[in-house]
Structure 1
Amino acid sequence: MAQSTSNNQTSKCKRLYYFLININLFDDEETLSLIDQLLATKFFICLLTITVIIVIAFTIFSIQTYTVTIQSPNEIIFEQLYAQYSTTLSCPCRKSSIRHNNFILLNPYYHPICTSQFINQTFISSLSDEKISDYYLLDYRTMIASHFQVIALLCRTIIQIVTNAIKEFATRYLITTNVLPYNIFNTQVVVLIKQLKQTTTTYIRHINDFLSLNIFHNGIYSGLRTNYAMRIIPGTTTVTVLTFKYTTLNKTCSCSKTNTCVQQAGISNRRARIVEYNLTTSENLTMNSILLFTIPGIMVGCLPYDSLLKSTLECFYNQSCIDEIQLFINGLSLVKALSSSHFEKNATVNDLFNHLFIEFWNEKINFSNYFHICSPHSCRYLYSRRFNLLYVIVTIISIFGGLKAIYYVSIPSIIMIIRRLSKFKTVHNKNNNIPTINQSVKYRFISSIREFYEKTLKLNIFPSSSETIDGIYSTRIYIFLLVNGMLVLFFYSSIIIRIHNNSVDQPSLNEYKQLYKQYASTLVCPCSHFSVYYSSIMYIKPYYHQVCSSDIVQDDRWLLYFNGFDSGLYAFDFRVQGLKKFILLQVLCKMSNETVTNELVTFNNSEFATAQVLNINEFNTQTSILIRRFQQQVFDQEIL
């Protein structure tokens, strides 16, 4: 039984083998012998098979680029698309300009001092004393009312400025033609908020510097008699201005040189201010008194404002410290200790001022609102793939019919030509008569062309047709349409634009320029860092008027010249007034330099946000706008 089954299988294989070697697709070709017909059939099958395999391999391994459009995507779909097709995804916004207040909320929380009873007018009024200027200079009762008046003013002013800045910021627009992905959106918004903080802080610092310089260089006398005092010399009618000095860390500081002189405050055991006056130096007031105790962190000095900035609020976080002072200042019974703060207790008021008395900005960024307002009507992305079964099948079907017809028509003629060339070679080997051979070649060539022409005229690839003439005409129409179709396909393939995605990892600047020169409209280079500091891409170095670097504003040059004049000169003498004018000029130069320097620090620490590399023209345009805006901002700060 097993042997019978084996014999049957062998018989089937033999029959299949004989069928394959004897298959004849050209049995209607009368011009070909049976052997040539079989040879043409094998050649036809092999050539068609090889061609189909090549086409299949080409279509399988060739990269095809597809464009997909999704209408009205929601936020989740957008995030999924961006995760997969970040480099080619494009989602145009219906609304390209969106106000900041639609997706940014800033609600700053201020230091407890700015919401406490310490800045209440009732409390401040309770600290007033008609004879406050008679207290010992280091007695805190001299300045406590002024200190809290200044704190209240600083809190109100800063809160108002910050509120106005936030309102103005909220009315600005974020302009995006395409939806920004969350990470890029968040980076850009963080940069915008950071710039708002820096700009507001710089603005307030500028006001502070201007006030300090203005107060000092205009020689303003404190009503508390803490920087200067006027005294009539006994036995004369001469009024002399006396300057106070303060000692810190065993170093003496005169209020005639700076307003920043300070000393530890406390509570004195005497009410009257006793002074000793040195008639020789016309300077130096020494206070003969004894402090009962000092107050931690509290400083007094030439002016309440400057001494407050160098003070800390650590005593007012401690109820025991407040109670101890309350024994001498009854108004403190109206307040309680400050609640905790994220600032260190020993942070100076100047530190708080530099942070705008803000504990935290309480910023909220809402990407969902941004996406909803942007509301892209569609998202388009490109993707590439190597193997697409449908594409392979369609390509084979579209090519197979044409290839079959071409091979079916051309292969018999090719076989015939090969056969004749083979016979000619045999004759050539037997006959060495060159003229005869040349004549034979020419004759055979013309004869072959004539025969091919006649065969073409009688070609009929539809032999099953009832009429031979109909088959011949059908063949001619088929060949004409086939040739035209092939020509159209050739020209279409020549002019069609195919999209190919090429990636260049970590390109250099020269490589980028070369790529941009060739593919400017399609080049996409995502940045590895979405933001860079201005200082890394722009450099600004201001050059000031020569007067600000000349000798006439130098302390050790021209200004030193005025120190040698006698103080008894007439008040309107240039040697008296000139010094003040040149000092004022010096101050203006310093203020200008400080303003520009502060603005430059803010500018350099600002960040330039971009998701993709900008071409050189766009980069130059945007940086030029930023520089012009910076120049205008500096000018606006100066004229405030």
Structure 2
Amino acid sequence: MFIFDLLRTTYTYCRVKLISLNLFNSRSTDPTKLYHEILSTRLFILLFGVSLIILTTYTSFSPRMTTENIQSPSLSDYEQLQKQYSDTLQCLCAKMSIPYYRFTNIEASFHQVCSSYFTSQEWIDFLLKNGDRNLWPMDVRTSLSAMWYLIAILCDHSVQFFYHAFLEFEVSFIISSTVLSEERIHINIQEAVKEIQQTASHSFLLPLTTIQQITQINGIMAGTLINYDISESKQPLESFEDVQVIANKYLRNGSTNNCSCLDRESCPMPGGIYLY
């Protein structure tokens, strides 16, 4: 009986203490204020308990991060780990830089005209031998040999230029302190090749543009007389001939203004065969 009475007394004491527990006691004698303080205490204890339960549950079920070191993994091991832990996997490289030629092979393809018979010296000599200089300069029969000779030079120059550009790419390095995925390596290679192509194209066109500008500024006459022509006239009772250089003017389709190399870098027009 003594133990039962002791337990009942303890329960009653604890119950009274919990009911009257006031963590925000302001020592006021106002019953209403004391009642609000006790309610605030109960609300605080309830919210604190709920927060503690949520935090404990989240901590129990959240995955734990563990670090595991694997020495010298094989390629298959790395690929398997990459599939399982793609977001957290880190594999340090034994070498931070590797030249591209160790794992790439680039083959450039050029326009088929560069390997055709039309760019051969035999064909160019044939056109030069059978050309007619007495025709209008825009008649392709007067400039075919020069055109194909220019195309042959550009083809040869482009092959050598891009060969050196890709050779420079192959001896450049891919740099990374960690192992890159195969997809990332392909992206890096494509970006590097694209940059090489853009740089090479710009460097290839720069001297051509410079030559074109120098020709236009200095009024250099083309051998085919497509930009300038020579006019000869002999005055009566004079022993000498008057020679004048005249800038050719062309009226292009869809335009009402004449185009002349005297004030323009170029006047692109389609060639043709003119019967007159």
TM-score above 0.5, yes or no: yes
Among candidates 250, 259, 274, match of residue 253 of structure 1: 259
SS in 2 for 1:72: coil
- Greater Rg, structure 1 or structure 2? 1
Instruction: Give the drift of 1:259.
Output: 4.4
Alpha-carbon distance in structure 1 between the residues aligned to 2:85 and 2:164 = 42
1:243 to 225, 247, 266: 247
Cα drift, residue 216 of structure 1:
1.1
Q: Which amino acid aligns with 2:205?
A: R
Whether the 8 Å CA contact 1:133–1:225 is kept in 2: the answer is no
Which of 253, 268, 272 is residue 266 of structure 1 equivalent to? 272
CA distance in 1, matches of 2:271, 2:73: 67
Matches within 5 A, 1:203-352: 203-235=203-235, 236=238, 237=240, 238-249=242-253, 251=256, 252-269=258-275, 290=276
Matched-pair contact (CA < 8 Å) for 2:139–2:274: yes
Q: TM-score, normalised by structure 2?
A: 0.71
What is the TM-score with the length of structure 1 in the denominator?
0.32
Q: CA–CA distance in 2 between the matches of 1:190 and 1:130?
A: 47
Q: Name the residue aligned to 2:28.
A: none
Q: Give the superposed CA RMSD.
A: 2.8
8 Å CA contact retained: 2:250, 2:260: yes
Give CA deviations for 1:269-300 in whole Å, capped at 9, x if unaligned: 4xxxxxxxxxxxxxxxxxxxx2xxxxxxxxxx
> How many residues matched?
220
Partner of 2:156: 156
By relative contact order (CA 8 Å, sep 6+), the higher-ranking structure is 1
> Structure 2: how far apart are the matches of 1:259 and 1:66?
69
1:233 and 1:266 mapped to 2: Cα distance? 29
When residues 118 and 81 of structure 1 are mapped into structure 2, their CA distance, relative to the original with a 3 A threshold, is same
Aligned-pair identity (%): 30
Distance 1:187 1:131 in 2: 51
Q: Tell me what 1:67 maps to.
A: 67
Change in Cα spacing, 1:233 to 1:58, as seen in structure 2 (3 Å) is closer
CA deviations on 1:234-286 (whole Å, 9 max, x unpaired) are 215432212212221154222322242244433344xxxxxxxxxxxxxxxxx
Give unmatched runs, 5+ long, in structure 2.
8-52
Counterpart of 1:230 in 2: which secondary structure?
Answer: strand
- CA-CA distance at 1:57 after TM superposition: 8.3
Instruction: Give, as a single letter, the amino acid of the residue that structure 2 aligns with 1:133.
Output: R
Distance (Å, rounded) in 1 between the aligned partners of 2:273 and 2:173: 55
Against the structure 1 CA distance between its residues 94 and 230, is the aligned structure 2 distance closer, same or farther, given a 3 Å change threshold?
same
Give 2:115's aligned residue.
115
Secondary structure (helix, strand or coil) at the match of 2:188 reads helix
CA separation of 1:82/1:229 partners in 2, compared to 1, >3 Å: closer, same or farther? Answer: same
Letter in 1 for 2:271: A
- Is contact 1:247-1:262 (8 Å) kept? no
SS of the residue corresponding to residue 127 of structure 1 reads: helix
Asked if the contact 2:213–2:265 (Cα under 8 Å) also holds between the matched residues in 1, the reply is: no
CA contact (8 A) 1:247 1:263 kept: no
Question: Unaligned regions of 5+ residues in structure 1, if any?
Answer: 1-34, 40-53, 270-289, 291-640
The letter for the 2-side match of 1:80 is Q
One-letter amino acid matched to 2:248: F
Alpha-carbon shift at residue 130 of structure 1 (Å):
7.6
After superposition, what is the alpha-carbon deviation per residue over 1:59-113, rounded to whole angstroms, capped at 9, x for unaligned?
Answer: 9547533221223222232122122222321111112210011122210111110
**Residue 137 of structure 2 contacts residue 224 of structure 2 at CA under 8 Å; is this kept in 1?**
no
| CA deviation vs aligned residue, 1:458-508 (integer Å, no higher than 9, x gap) | xxxxxxxxxxxxxxxxxxxxxxxxxxxxxxxxxxxxxxxxxxxxxxxxxxx
Distance in 2, Cα, partners of 1:57 & 1:256: 85
Amino acid at match of 1:261: C
Maintained 8 Å contact 2:228/2:247: yes
One-letter amino acid of the counterpart of residue 171, structure 2: T
In structure 1, how many angstroms separate the alpha carbons of the residues matched to 2:57 and 2:143?
Answer: 92
Structure 1 counterpart of 2:123, one-letter code: F
What's the CA shift string for 1:339-358, capped at 9, x where partnerless?
A: xxxxxxxxxxxxxxxxxxxx
Change (3 A) 1:159 1:59: closer
Q: What SS is found at the alignment partner of 1:213? A: helix
Q: 2:70 is paired with a residue of what secondary structure?
A: strand
Residues 264 and 184 of structure 1: CA distance in aligned 2, closer, same or farther (over 3 Å): closer
- Residue 175 of structure 1 is matched in structure 2 by 175
Partner SS, residue 68 of structure 2: strand
Map of 1:138 onto structure 2: 138
> Given that residues 132 and 224 in structure 1 are in contact (C-alpha distance below 8 angstroms), is that contact kept between their aligned partners in structure 2?
no
Task: Give the whole-Å Cα distance in 2 for the aligned partners of 1:243 and 1:267.
Answer: 22
C-alpha change, 1:248 and 1:74, in structure 2 (3 Å) is same
Q: Map 1:584-623 onto structure 2 (within 5 A).
A: none
Taking a change above 3 Å as real, the CA distance of residues 259 and 64 of structure 1, as seen in their structure-2 partners, is closer
2:193 corresponds to: 193
Instruction: Please identify runs of 4+ aligned residues in structure 1 that moved more than 4 A.
Output: 56-63
- Alpha-carbon contact 1:245-1:261 (below 8 Å) kept: no
> Partner letter of residue 171 of structure 1?
V
Q: Could you list the per-position Cα deviations for residues 122-144 of structure 1 after superposition, in whole angstroms to 9, with x for gaps in the alignment? A: 11111113874322223211010
